[in-house]
Structure 1
Amino acid sequence: MLDEEITSCCRQLRLSRNLAEKAQTTDGESHQEYLYHLLGDELTYRNHSRTEKLVNSAGFYNIKTFENFRFDEITLPSDLSIESLESLDFIQERKNIIMYGGTGTGKTMLSTALGVTACRKGIPVRFFRTAALVNKLSEAKKAGHLSTFLKKLNKAEVIILDEYGYVPLDRTGAQLLFEIISDCYERKSIILNTNLEFSRWVNVLYDEQMTAAMLDRLLHHCHLLLFPGTSNRMRESSINDLYRSIAENNRQKDSVQEVKYDDHH
């Protein structure tokens, strides 16, 4: 048996153990056909491993896909179709996506689905809650490792910033976030999720000029997606039944009190 020898050769040639295992089961009518099938399987294995590594290292909190997403509950701009969005044309065009709407309306789900799809097409993605990214940037700067962190971040072709506007930023954090967005301008795509209207962004950054400059860079090449619906989490939660029950009980109590008041008067 040559198993160990083949495995050793694969290791020295930096080929996967998968090739050594497939060598025993691959068929071919000629030596060339056998080798072609074996190498083709190795390429498929490597591509799959690479895309799964991209998904695992992106930082998604959950893995989501377009399946079951309610596109009829959001408003797309006139120049963007569902098909174009799912095909990730905006990444090729170096355009940004801004998703605006209330909490729980599907922004994180859709941005994650876009990110996962990009990873599985071989496109590096990084996903952050905005406050968490700013904390990482601030900590790296204090520790003297900012350039190293930025070098890793720069490998991503898409940066997803979730929950922008939920937490006010200090001046250093705001400046660091601005630098990230400026560096991405016309070079890579940013997907930003927010429940904060543009006129109130200054309340997060506390600097009117920086806010204007950030908006200018984000919106210059951008698709704005609106999420006007109610919270999916609230709608799908059984706590709604509890709220309705409490409200109904209160209405009944109010009705009883009104009847008693009328009887006494």
Structure 2
Amino acid sequence: MSLGREAIRQNYNVQFVTAATLVAMLAKAHGDGTLDKQLTLLSRPKLLIIDELGYLPFEANAAHLFFQLVSRRYEKGSILITSNRSVGEWGNVFGDAVVATAILDRLLHHSTVITIRGDSYRLREKRRSGLLQKAGPALETNETANQ
């Protein structure tokens, strides 16, 4: 992610994690009684990048754990989230509209939402090389960056 690289160039601490890996880390920490320690570690970087939110739906407990992370970082550190789902679909992603609303309330305050329509960088490169034909509707990516 170029935003993450630029933050590093500007001497910010940055951590990158996929949403699936993050949820697994939080669930494991919750199970072994180290959730507070894990949340503290995830709160340290100036920028936390969470990739692929919504690619896989969250289980109910995972949504609550994710909320705890967002709440812990709220107004203390930036979160950049990439997703192929619009924020209107996050109730389905998290399996709970109330939890999704609470997460979005914190994420969208002081944030900029960037909607990118069209092919991903990877698909665009495949098309340029002639390995892939354009078919069907374009993909949509949403990035949310807390400031």
TM-score of the aligned structures, taking structure 1 as reference length: 0.47
Q: 1:190 aligns to what?
A: 79
Say whether residues 1:141 and 2:33 are aligned partners: no
Say whether residues 1:214 and 2:106 are aligned partners: no
Structure 2 Cα separation of the partners of residues 223 and 129 of structure 1: 20
1:162 offset after TM fit, Å? 0.6
Q: 1:126–1:160: 8 Å Cα contact kept in structure 2?
A: yes
Alignment RMSD (CA, Å): 1.9
Say whether residues 1:223 and 2:81 are aligned partners: no
1:131 offset after TM fit, Å? 1.3
1:240 offset after TM fit, Å? 7.0
1:239 offset after TM fit, Å? 9.3
Q: Deviations over 1:3-49 (max 9, x none)?
A: xxxxxxxxxxxxxxxxxxxxxxxxxxxxxxxxxxxxxxxxxxxxxxx
- Code of the aligned partner of 2:101: A
Alpha-carbon distance change, 178 to 238 in structure 1, aligned in 2, over 3 angstroms: same
Q: 1:234–1:240: 8 Å Cα contact kept in structure 2?
A: no
Alpha-carbon distance change, 122 to 204 in structure 1, aligned in 2, over 3 angstroms: same
Alpha-carbon distance change, 120 to 242 in structure 1, aligned in 2, over 3 angstroms: closer
Alpha-carbon distance change, 243 to 209 in structure 1, aligned in 2, over 3 angstroms: closer
Q: 2:43–2:77: 8 Å Cα contact kept in structure 1?
A: no
Q: 1:67 aligns to what?
A: none
Match of 2:6 among 117, 137, 152: 117
Q: Which runs of 5+ in 2 are unaligned?
A: 134-147
1:145 offset after TM fit, Å? 1.9
Say whether residues 1:132 and 2:60 are aligned partners: no
Q: Deviations over 1:125-165 (max 9, x none)?
A: 11110111010010111122222222222211111111010
Partner secondary structure for residue 241 of structure 1: coil
Structure 1 Cα separation of the partners of residues 36 and 26 of structure 2: 10
114-123 or 231-240, larger mean C-alpha shift: 231-240
**Superposed, which structure 2 residues align to 1:224-243 within 5 Å?**
224-237=113-126, 241=130
Runs of 4+ aligned residues of structure 1 deviating over 3 Å after TM superposition are 238-244
- Code of the aligned partner of 1:156: P
Say whether residues 1:177 and 2:66 are aligned partners: yes
Alpha-carbon distance change, 229 to 242 in structure 1, aligned in 2, over 3 angstroms: closer
Percent of residue pairs bearing the same amino acid type: 36
Q: Which runs of 5+ in 1 are unaligned?
A: 1-111, 245-265
Structure 2 Cα separation of the partners of residues 243 and 128 of structure 1: 29
Q: Deviations over 1:64-91 (max 9, x none)?
A: xxxxxxxxxxxxxxxxxxxxxxxxxxxx
TM-score of the aligned structures, taking structure 2 as reference length: 0.81
Q: 2:39–2:72: 8 Å Cα contact kept in structure 1?
A: no
1:243 offset after TM fit, Å? 5.3
Structure 1 Cα separation of the partners of residues 127 and 21 of structure 2: 30
- Code of the aligned partner of 1:216: D
More strand by share: 2
- Code of the aligned partner of 1:131: A
Alpha-carbon distance change, 243 to 115 in structure 1, aligned in 2, over 3 angstroms: closer
Q: 1:84 aligns to what?
A: none
Partner secondary structure for residue 126 of structure 1: strand
1:232 offset after TM fit, Å? 2.7
The aligned length equals 133
Larger Rg: 1
226-235 or 133-142, larger mean C-alpha shift: 226-235
Structure 2 Cα separation of the partners of residues 238 and 145 of structure 1: 46
